[in-house]
Amino acid sequence: MATTAYLPLQQTLGHFVQHARLDDVAALATVALLSTAYVTKGRLWRKTDPYSFKLYERPQQQPGAIKAAEQSKNLGERLEQSNADIAILWASQSGTAERMAGRLAKDLRKHFGARVLLLDLSDIDPASCADVPETKLAILLASTFGEGDPSDSMHDFWAWLHQDQGSPQVLSALRYLAFGLGNSNYKHYNHVIDVVASQLEARGAHALLPTARADDANGDTEEHFLEWKESVFEVFQGQLGYKQQEAGYEPSLRIVEDASLEPIDLHHGIPQTRNAKKPSSTESKIYALPIIQSRELFSDATDRNCIHMELDLTAFQDLKYKTGDHLAVWPVNPTAEVELLISVLDLGQRRALPCHIKSVDETPVKVPSPTTIDALFEHYLEVCAPVSREHVGLLATFAPTDAVRALLTNISVDRSVYAEHLESNHVTLARLLQYASGGVGAWSQLPLSLVVEILPAMQPRYYSISSSSVVQARKVAITAVVSDTTLSTAGERIPGLATNYLLSQMNGQHPRGMKYSLPTSHQPLSSGSLHAHLRKSTFKLPTLASTPIVMVGAGTGVAPFRAFVQERARLKGMGREVGPTKLYFGCRNAAQDFIYKDDFVEAAVKLGDAFSMTTAFSRPDNATDKQYVQDRILKEATQVCDLLVDGNAYFYICGSAAMARDVTDAVSKVVMARQGWTEEQMKDFADRQKRQKRWQQDVWG
């Protein structure tokens, strides 16, 4: 039985071995074939495409990024490398000087055929201005902000101007033109461009025109720029030998639709800083911050609103603020304005198509690319910005009818006619086009490149942080009054862009029905969050809590002082010695807009005698009690002098520039009378305090 049982098993094993040998041969043949294919890959078959890596590059990557980093910082060399005769250098804080520099560069190329090099002032070595030959020309546009401060991109150049250059004629070959942007509400109006011009001339440079200054106190920056540009054109014709030529619209951008792009390749609305290649040391990255809570601060909010909003930093470990810093909020355009612009331009069928935006004349592209029209108009361009007189004239060249062309031309050629139109109309691009010709598709032939060029890039709005990092390190609070304006003739309400956006986020809806989200996919923001980043500030409490401080704020200018007082109250509760803490606060009416009253009452209980607060109401119930903060300072002259002079207190002002100027005058008057000082002695005292950071201002126009 054993033998009988064994035979079938032996036969079975024999078949197995036979089949195994056949499988082995097949396997070996397959391995040999694959090995041969691997060895010959790239030589006999499937030769490698040397540019295949391009398939894996994100379209957002800028091909010129490496080249830009390798370029010389010597201005003379850059002019030679670019074969340019004109260098336009800009130093901008909010982007206005940058935009105007770009417009001037384009106009000089178009009207005179000039070879122009456009540069951020921080892209050059300041000392290399001495290497610019006298056959070339430098044009500088620089803004002044704060208390006569230069913009961030100008710090190296500013430091160089204040250094001893040895030879007084080190810039004897440099010819230049200068244009400053400022606001006469500020005490140091256009201080930066004045210093630049005086220092350049002290070093032997030659100005071909007197230094020009724009004043934004009444919104005249654009008109002053146009007047200066006319003078520049005269210099080019009269002194530099250029011949002006008439020229039509020449696009500086090319917009190419590309349906092959996937949603992941596109910029859907996440903001980018103006100079992403050179991150600022004073500003954080931009994040979508969740809104923890928000509330209305005005007791009567039927017509006016003031927002207190707190945002959560918990999920973003690199976001760390200090008391006195700023939060920059990136607004979103209202949906109604976006839809109106898309409608009047007849872009409804193209609004979601992916598109590349490329420069055709080396003009920097001010918006992220690739993107969509929806994202451009909702997030990246300020569609609510007023249209300048110059741009109205440019739009006239594309008018659909002779009547429309005549209407727009009439508005653009006369400054008074344009001003009258602004007084009675809300002049956004969409509203202007609709006003001129509201027919469906009437403006369908207007180049989209021109629309992108006309509209300014979206800019963040900065708010003083009204929370203390000692009290709530992972929550940041801001305070914002909704800044609507009313047309003087028509009575139409023009909503402030950022503050109405914040108001819409306060309770999930806007009290006047404004909406801020297009019904499209790939929205960059989830409900209840907004894009923002932190900016460092020098507006700081003294290191020692025992140091006396005097604070003066009006309206939302009290925001950082809420943080200051809360921090000192916390330190007092921790057993720290806290010095005299004096607050002057002004608002319209005690019953309606005395913001943070409860917070200050609570702080007063915690701080005891260390804290005192003086209020001033400009619209009290009893008209005879009308006062401003500077009036209260004059009445408390002795106390103010005791703190500022004898106590060497830190002095802070926050609010409008006009208020800050009046407060400064009042304080100067009080101290001069008490000390018997001359104006020069008072100036020396104030300058010394500012150098020691004991006199600080956080003001706006």
pLDDT of residue 11: 46
Domain contains 358:
yes
For helices 559-573 and 597-607, give the axis angle rounded to 10 degrees: 30
* Whether residue 262 sits in one domain with residue 186: no
645 and 619 co-located in one domain:
yes
311 assigned to some structural domain: no
Same domain, 565 and 421: no
- 199-236 residues labelled b (16+ CB within 10 A) or e (exposed): bbeebbbeebbebbbbbbeeeebbbbbeebbeebbebb
Name the domain boundary from 420, 454, 488: 454
| Cα distance between residue 138 and residue 229, in whole Å | 15
Which of 212, 238, 264 is the last residue in one of the domains?
238
User: 10: which 2 tokens?
Assistant: 């032996």
| Strand partners for 656 | 700
> What domain range is 657 assigned to?
549-700
**Rounded CA gap, 650 and 103, in Å?**
43
Residues 554 and 670 in one domain: yes
Cβ–Cβ under 8 Å, residues 389 and 224: no
Order of all β-strands in the sheet with 611-617: 611-617, 581-587, 549-554, 650-656, 695-700
Same domain, 182 and 270: no
Same domain for 641 and 691? yes
Instruction: Give the count of beta carbons closer than 10 Å to the beta carbon of residue 449.
Output: 18
Q: Are 419 and 459 in contact (CB under 8 A)?
A: no
Q: What is the DSSP letter of 159?
A: H
pLDDT value, residue 68: 43
Tell me, what amino acid is at 191?
H
Look up residue 142 and give its two tokens: 């620089």
**How many CB atoms neighbour CB 127 within 10 A?**
17
453-456 long-range CB contacts below 8 Å, 24 or more apart? 453/251, 453/252, 453/253, 454/387, 454/391, 454/394, 454/395, 454/429, 455/381, 455/382, 455/383, 455/385, 455/429, 456/95, 456/99, 456/366, 456/381, 456/382, 456/385
Judgement on whether residues 227 and 265 belong to the same structural domain of the protein: no
Q: Is the alpha carbon torsion for 104, 105, 109, 114 positive or negative?
A: positive
Write the CB contacts of 335 (distance below 8 Å, at least 6 apart in sequence): 378, 514, 515, 516, 517, 518
Virtual torsion, Cα 225, 230, 232, 234, nearest 10 deg: -170
Residue 480, strand partner residues: 307
How far is C-alpha 462 from the chain's CA centre? Answer: 8
**What sign for the dihedral angle of Cα 184, 188, 193, 195?**
positive
Amino acid 550 reads: V
Answer whether residue 91 is part of any domain.
yes
Q: Is residue 399 part of a domain?
A: yes
Q: HSE-up of 14 (CA within 13 Å, CB side)? A: 6
Task: Report the DSSP beta bridge partners of residue 477.
Answer: 310
- pTM for the predicted model, two decimal places: 0.84
438, 413: one domain: yes
Cis bond upstream, residue 271 (ω within 30): no
Confirm whether 684 is domain-assigned. Answer: yes
28 belongs to a structural domain: no
Assess whether 163 and 197 both reside in one domain. yes
- Residues of the chain below pLDDT 50: 1-22, 25-28, 31, 33, 36-69
Q: Are strands 355-359 and 253-257 parallel, antiparallel or unpaired?
A: antiparallel
Domain count, the chain: 3
The separation between CA 394 and the C-alpha centre of its own chain, rounded to angstroms, equals: 26
Q: Cα separation of 139 and 322, whole Å?
A: 38
448 and 555 in a common domain: no
Alpha-carbon dihedral angle through residues 111, 112, 117, 119, given to the nearest 10 degrees? -40
List the one residue out of 677, 59, 608, 102 whose CA is nearest residue 355: 59
Q: What SS3 state is found at 537?
A: coil
CATH code for the domain of 641: 3.40.50.80
Quickly list H helices, 328-470: 335-344, 373-375, 389-396, 402-413, 415-424, 429-436, 448-454
Q: Do the beta carbons of residue 484 and residue 491 sit within 8 Å?
A: no
The enclosing domain of 359 has a CATH number of 1.20.990.10
Query: Is 65 inside any structural domain?
Result: no
- The residue behind tokens 């005490």 is 187
At residue 244, the 3 state secondary structure works out as coil
* CATH code (residue 167): 3.40.50.360
Q: For the stretch 66-89, what's the b/e string if a residue is b when 16 or more beta carbons lie within 10 angstroms of its beta carbon?
A: eeeeeeeebbbbbbeebebbbbbb
Residues 217 and 353 in one domain: no
Is 316 a domain residue? Answer: no
Question: For the packed helices 429-436 and 402-413, what is the interaxial angle rounded to 10 degrees?
Answer: 130
Mark which of 454, 473, 488 sits at the end of a domain. Answer: 454
Do 267 and 198 fall within a single domain? Answer: no
CB 580 within 8 A of CB 670: no
